[in-house]
Amino acid sequence: MTDQHFDDLLAKVTIRKNDTAMCEALPPRLKLEITIRYLASGNSFKKTLEAIYYVLHEYIKSPLLERECQ
């Protein structure tokens, strides 16, 4: 993708979020770069979630039994 194509796409999809007291918003350019990189990887959304869980499982509480979901 050329720089010009990237900038044209960025101009069409830019939605600017505001910073909060808790964190700074990611710049639209960075969000688009991450999205394009993800799409280019060919990974499925499920595979991405599995990778996130693999890395962060110590910090994520997920129900083990159906009754814990209720």
Query: pLDDT tens, 35-68?
Result: 888 888 888 888 888 888 888 888 877 766 667 6
**Backbone φ/ψ region at 42: left (φ over 0), alpha (ψ -120 to 50), beta:** left
| Count of structural domains, the chain | 1
Instruction: Please say whether the beta carbons of 24 and 31 come within 8 A.
Output: no
Rounded to a whole number of angstroms, the CA Rg of the chain reads 17
Q: Which two tokens stand for residue 49?
A: 């979630």
Question: Which domain covers residue 38, as residue numbers?
Answer: 3-16+24-69
| Residue closest to 35 by CA, chosen among 52, 50, 5, 13 | 13
Q: Which two tokens stand for residue 43?
A: 């990974």
Q: Where is average pLDDT lowest: 9-18, 19-28, 58-67?
A: 58-67
Cβ neighbours of residue 40 closer than 8 Å, sequence gap 6 or more:
none
pLDDT for the residue 11: 92
